[in-house]
Amino acid sequence: ASRELSDSKLLLPGKSLYQALLDSVTLCNDSVKLQIVSEKNKVPLLVEIYAIDGNIFRLKINEISPLKSRYEVPDVLIKNLPLRGKLSIAQKETGILVLTCANEDCKLHITANPFQIELESKGETVLSVNTNGLLYFEHLQPPPQNRCDISYIPQCSVCDAENQEDLGLWQEEFGSFLDIKANGPSSIGLDFSLHGCEHVYGIPEHAETLLLKNTSDDDAYRLFNLDVYGHKIHDKMGIYGSVPFLLAHKPNRTSGIFWLNSSETVVEINTKAHVPSRSPPAITKQRVVPQTDVRWMSESGIIDVFLLMGPTPFDIFKQYAQLTGTQALPPLFSLGYHQCRWNYEDEQDVKTVDTGFDEHDIPYDVIWLDIEHTEGKRYFTWDKKKFQHPERMQELLKRKKRKLVVIIDPHIKVDPMYALYSQAKKKGYFVKNRKGQDFEGICWPGSSSYLDFTNPEVREWYADQFAFKSYKGSTDILFVWNDMNEPSVFKGAELTMQRDAVHHGNWEHREVHNLYGFYQQMATAEGLIKRSGGQKRPFVLTRSFFAGSQKYGAVWTGDNIAEWSYLKISIPMLLTISTAGISFCGADVGGFIGDPEPELLVRWYQAGAYQPFFRGHANIESKRREPWLFGDENTRIIREAIRERYTLLPYLYSLFYRAHTTAEPVMRPLWVEFPKEQETFGVEDEYMLGNALLVHPVIEQKATTVNVLLPGSDEVWYDFRRFRRLDYSGTLKIPVTLESIPVFQRGGSVVPLKTTVGRSTEWMTDISYELRVALDSKDFAVGELYLDDGHSFQYLHKKQFLHRKFTFHKNIFSSSCADEIGQYHTKCVVERVLILGVQKQPTSVTVSLQDGKDKEVVFTYDAKTSMLTLEKLLLNVGADWEIHIK
């Protein structure tokens, strides 16, 4: 971590250095403003408080008269955040200010000395700010040699001005690298207390547990995007992505903190027992409750934090999405299986692998090409010997209704003969070093310059490079993988760009570091959309990400290792990313580094089949591991896992529509669905896929049983494959074989499936549906199906989609329209309905259609499993109908 962040630990809990000047309070149309001042340096700061629609508060703290503007993160927030209305003063007396919100039972208690804020909802203190007095703000200062010319110099809040040079705060050495701070240290920090909470989650990306742990001075969670090959497990150092969003949960409330800062950030967490300050002395013993204190510290920028009040987990997801956007609706093919390695050698290799999937009857949608497909690591080019006819290669894939993904990294080879480099050089589109020259670092091509994606003009130019006339050899089935975009700089300090490199607007790299990959993915997605004339959805996978990356595509967990421990840690990693707004996430199946034993590979395929992004990937030094290379029996099991994924696509696609429209995570921790069940709060070896399926991957070698928690005392669960009803909840010991992993369907749900699979998603457009209905304890079930063309924006612009609702109630199973706005014609039919939990055999089953005609339905009943099977229905999926069971 940078020097100023570690120095900031000199500020220990105690009396705050800041007090509020309540005489400075002003009420504006959209905010309340006041000044706070440090007892030490007497320099005032401006505090702004906004009430945002949806039970969100925004707190900004900045210098009133900085030496120069401080960086405020652009482009992440949705434009024109809806303000809730004016805050009003409910109480103002000596040392206390109470603000209330229009139409909300929320109050903000502002204490003047020491400066603190408490957020209260319906009489309960949910969250407080600066409780431990750890607010600090390092002021920008003139360089040491110019100080004598400045009559008024704010002092550093950590150290006396005369000691700053001695402490080396104006420049730092990282090995052979020198980091010059032109205006001295500029770090900021603030602490928060989450009342009644001892379970906190979020702040990806770390290879750590789902539940965030208490930290000590030397192991705070770090948010700093880095290329970490074979990253360690149970390590709080930053890896590829950073989302500064933390969730706190207790049985009756979920709340959140979104710290909008793109510089290096560290987060300290401390959970402890606490006596609420307003408790009467006589009952303090009974009122001891947990409290989690969270301290945020960033290298630069301003304090800009959003406090999300919930109260439910799904409220929090909506509130966060209201700020940063929802998950982009992916093209359907991208939910299929992806086959990748570094590297498929040439066109013949691609053809052989593609044919291998057909020969072994394994569906797949996308084959990927890594850096070796280019001409000397020059992106947007093809190796002239190995990929002589890229368009012809893509045409062969297109005939099979498959796609190609190629890698395009942000570093550009320094080569005046390389058109992309020479154009960018001429236009001044590269990041600069502190001397104003193009920054150069070492990466895959050797000496490289780095496109400045923070510049809107550069992003627009970069997007144009994906046009077919510019990207020779590309076609409309080619999609993109952005790697190495932390950015990775070989031989750089921590293998990344120097912090004093200069970006558009004269901002230093330290300010924008965690945004760099976010901006590349944004430009890439815009390029693919522009390439299609605005008609088709893009697919872009990125390794580096930030808050809001969900708007542009998918992410993965980076360079994992082919070991059981990495399969195990991938589950909490994906759950954490999912709850931080990025539903389209996955981990490399099999592990990127090394050679997985067959059992591990099989178990990883089974897990990946029930996760949002499903890609097999391997390092250049790993042995080939296409799914059919591990013996007939393992091939059969892997085939079955992948085919299960394809039958599940209607359910998955519907979940992504929910993520896109209502911000519900596709893959979610148990506590999200069971927020009052405390036994779920720390579970990280199983998860919910949507609200209907509970998945427990097998993550131990040679396992013969797994312990599965089936939560909810009044819930009914069904084995998803054997249809057996489990009438009890709690932790069960489930026997397992290598054949499959435990998956359970929740009573009260309807899961749409395909009755069979094709060679890829496009082959399955007209394949009929099976609806799997699982009854709850009250013989009720509800579910939905979302359907559109799978690739265009017509669902948005022309409302060409179907959204159907299925309900089982009082022995009637019905299909109705869930959204009247959508219209989409499909030949697809519901061929089969399985109803689990039917207590007795019916005497008759009839279906009523829209034309008023009834017809008998062929059915079978299995008394052992209490399953009713209705077949040969041929009911149009877009029509209203009812099935009556007597």
CB neighbours of 840 closer than 8 A, spacing ≥ 6? none
CA neighbours within 13 Å on the CB side: how many for 300? 27
Q: How far apart are CA 232 and CA 672, in angstroms?
A: 28
In this structure, how many other beta carbons lie within 10 angstroms of the beta carbon of residue 860?
10
In this structure, how many other beta carbons lie within 10 angstroms of the beta carbon of residue 698?
25
- Running DSSP on this structure, what letter comes out for residue 138? P
Q: How far apart are CA 457 and CA 513, in angstroms?
A: 19
Token pair 């809730």 is found at 84
Q: How far apart are CA 412 and CA 415, in angstroms?
A: 9
Q: How far apart are CA 14 and CA 248, in angstroms?
A: 24
Q: How far apart are CA 130 and CA 192, in angstroms?
A: 6
702 Cα distance to chain centroid = 32
292 Cα distance to chain centroid = 24
- Which DSSP helix (H) or strand (E) runs through 414? none
| Contact call for residues 673 and 681 (beta carbons, < 8 A) | no
Catalytic residue numbers? 483, 486, 559
Token pair 């992916």 is found at 330
Name the residue type at position 241. Answer: G
Q: Which bin fits 72, alpha (ψ -120 to 50), beta or left (φ > 0)?
A: beta
C-alpha pair distances (Å), 568 with each of 208, 687, 699, 701, 733 = 10, 13, 5, 11, 19
Q: How far apart are CA 79 and CA 85, in angstroms?
A: 17
Q: How far apart are CA 864 and CA 724, in angstroms?
A: 8
| Contact call for residues 27 and 101 (beta carbons, < 8 A) | no
Full DSSP string of 51-88? EETTTEEEEEEEESS-SSPPP---SSSPSS--B---EE
Name the residue type at position 553. Answer: G
| Contact call for residues 60 and 47 (beta carbons, < 8 A) | yes
Name the residue type at position 805. Answer: K
Q: How far apart are CA 369 and CA 481, in angstroms?
A: 9
Tokens of residue 227, six digits: 């290329």
